[in-house]
């Protein structure tokens, strides 16, 4: 069973943070962002944007530092430790709790040696409203791309082929997001994203300083259609703001 199929079938609402996100810029805007933010001037032709409903098991746009320079490419969302017996672990490893990274065998090496940045311009969460759950899209007020902290790993299959995978780190929610969920992705500032990718930074205390809730003053959210509940839905309608007219609504 593919991870994509699994997440197209089950109810994601509120169970995972972060379980879906967007990167809705076009290729030219992405190139400009990579050049200005990471000094990256070459981008693989495999990268396709915009994306309106990125789901676990799919390929995500990630930046790593190879020891000499920053590089961008596609990596599979769903972390598989190098010591895993098979690929099924990725089903439950799309997110990693930042507070316990140094304690977990799957992550304690990666947090020192294999940090990455996963690019997005919004993520989805499901807000409880009485007996239903309303999907919302959370983004920056300026609607620009933001870097989420991640870890990556290389898993070697029995046939010798290699699979590169990643997880998105989470932290406690800021004041804005806490009304929706108690966790949020670790979103990096301009300064912290540079440090996050710096391979010379290996001290636990220095790394932990980077994994803090992003300031709520720069963020916002709005309700979207239930189309995002199904990973097969991948179009502009997923991010369209909808009007909630029912009485006693949260909006």
Catalytic residues: 18, 125
The 10 Å CB-count burial string (b at 16+, else e) for 35-65 is eebbebeebeeebebbbbbbbbbbbbbbbbb
Q: Any residues with CB less than 8 A from the CB of 130 and at least 6 apart, and which? A: 248
* 121 contacts 139 by C-beta, under 8 angstroms: yes
Question: Does an H or E element contain 139, and which?
Answer: strand 132-140
Helix (H, G, I), strand (E, B) or coil at 124: strand
How many Cα atoms occupy the beta-carbon half-sphere of 38 within 13 Å?
Answer: 32
Q: What is the layout of strands, in order, in the sheet containing 219-223?
A: 51-54, 21-23, 122-129, 132-140, 219-223
Other CB atoms closer than 10 Å to residue 231's CB: what's the count? 23
Helices of type H across 86-189: 110-113
Instruction: Examine residue 18 and say whether the peptide bond preceding it is cis (omega within 30 degrees of 0).
Output: yes
Helices of type H across 78-145: 110-113
- For residue 72, give the nearest of 109, 41, 100 by alpha carbon: 41
């Amino acid at each position: 069973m593919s991870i994509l199929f699994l997440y197209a079938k089950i109810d994601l609402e509120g169970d995972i943070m972060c379980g879906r996100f967007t990167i809705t810029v076009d290729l030219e805007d992405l190139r400009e962002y990579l050049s200005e933010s990471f000094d990256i001037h070459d981008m693989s032709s495999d990268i396709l944007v915009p994306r309106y409903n990125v789901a676990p098991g799919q390929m995500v746009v990630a930046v790593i530092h190879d020891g000499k320079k920053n590089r961008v490419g596609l990596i599979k969302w769903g972390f598989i430790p190098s010591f895993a017996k098979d690929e099924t672990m990725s089903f439950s490893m799309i997110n990693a709790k930042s507070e316990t990274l140094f304690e977990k065998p799957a992550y304690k090496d990666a947090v020192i040696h294999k940090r990455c940045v996963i690019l997005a311009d919004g993520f989805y969460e499901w807000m409880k409203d009485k007996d239903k759950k309303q999907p919302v899209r959370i983004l920056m007020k300026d609607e620009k791309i933001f870097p989420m902290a991640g870890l990556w790993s290389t898993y070697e299959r029995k046939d010798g082929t290699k699979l590169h995978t990643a997880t998105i780190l989470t932290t406690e929610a800021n004041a804005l997001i806490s009304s929706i969920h108690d966790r949020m992705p670790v979103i990096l500032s301009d300064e912290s994203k540079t440090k996050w990718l710096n391979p010379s930074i290996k001290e636990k205390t220095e790394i932990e300083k980077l994994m803090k809730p992003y300031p709520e003053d720069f963020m916002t959210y709005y309700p979207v259609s239930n189309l995002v509940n199904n990973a097969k839905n991948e179009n502009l309608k997923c991010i369209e703001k909808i009007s909630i007219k029912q009485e006693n609504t949260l909006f």
